[in-house]
Amino acid sequence: MTDAHGPTPRDGHQAGRHRLGPHVVGRRVVVRRLLRGETGPTGGPAFTDLLGTCLSWRDGACVVQPETGAAVTIPIADIVSGKPVPPRPSVRQRVTVRDAELHTAALEGIETTPLGEWQLRYEPAPSGRVRNRFNSCLGVGDPGMPVADAAHAVRSFYSARGRSPRIQVELGSANEEALRALGWQPVPGRDSHFLLASLSRARRSLEPADGSPSLEVDGPRVRAVLDGVAEGRAVLDGVAEGRAGLDGDWLGIHDLQVAPEHRRRGRARAVLAALLEWGAERGALTVWLHVETGNEPALALYERLGFTRHHTCRYYSTNPLSTSQS
């Protein structure tokens, strides 16, 4: 027998008041069920949990497809508890913070030096401003030595190259706490979200409503320029530009800029569309970028394009107010 909330007690076990039913078909669920004929560790009934997608709910049974293995049929009367759960994160969202951030040095001309699991990044000949991302140490993971010694090595490395010593960490990480304890300070206004998306989804979101393939925006046309094997650049002459770096099937978007007087007119979307097209032609599947946490217009744009937040970064320095980097 069942009531409106689930099965009633039967054969010595107390059924729970679960949130399952025909409405969860097609959704991801977790189900706790009775194992008939088996005894639990305390001598009472045995139970087990199953996580998967509900394929059907009918004829007194619930069929659940686990993430691996064959589908399991569970008598509804044996369900003790259960509820819908959020969809499993995509494969790209399950990438570690370190592995995601290692894609950041894909642009040509960026030199990298390992420091245990940390990575020292240096841009010998920056075109214009000195950029934090390419002139800081990726401080994610284990540097293979006490953090104090690693921080000293970072300071020596960048000081010898005329750069302000900076370390990029994941917000809220143990490395961040260690740097704070050593007297390093956050660089003001440089916290950034690492966003990523399916490249195909982002491209579809950028397609004009009328299906036109044109990338023209009020006259000027975007030029996609191949600067190197793994680097592309898109330019809307005198108005907007951006760069992309290809690392395997990951496409990173860098330095997307629009002249202030030409913003909010579709220029950024046009340049981004050209960069995504360039990446798709070379086999990219995932697109990522950094956006500063205070840049609400950009965050809103990328959310509409299907980008989701993977993690948040913060830069630390012994000289956080230095203007030598941006």
- pLDDT for 213: 42
Residue 179 dihedral angles phi and psi, to the nearest 5°: -65, -40
Residue 32 dihedral angles phi and psi, to the nearest 5°: -100, 130
Total-model pTM:
0.69
Please tell me the least confidently modeled range out of 2-6, 123-127, 258-262.
2-6
* Residue range 302-313, pLDDT digits in tens: 999 999 999 999
**231-236 and 223-228 beta bridge pairing:** antiparallel
- pLDDT for 150: 98
- pLDDT for 193: 97
What's the first-to-final CA gap in the chain, in angstroms?
67
- pLDDT for 324: 55
On average, the pLDDT of the chain sits at 85
What mean pLDDT is predicted for residues 22-42? Answer: 90
Residue 257 pLDDT class (50, 70, 90 cuts): confident
| C-alpha to C-alpha distances, 50 to 65, 80, 87, 153, nearest whole angstrom | 9, 12, 15, 48
Q: Which long-range contacts (CB under 8 A, 24 or more apart) does 84-91 make?
A: 84/19, 84/20, 84/24, 84/27, 84/28, 84/29, 85/28, 85/29, 85/30, 85/51, 86/28, 87/28, 88/28, 90/198
Is the per-residue pLDDT at 237 higher than 90?
no
Taking a C-beta distance cutoff of 8 angstroms, is the pair 315, 176 a contact?
no
Q: Look-up: residue for tokens 């950034």?
A: 192
Four-CA torsion 297, 299, 303, 307, nearest 10 degrees: 150
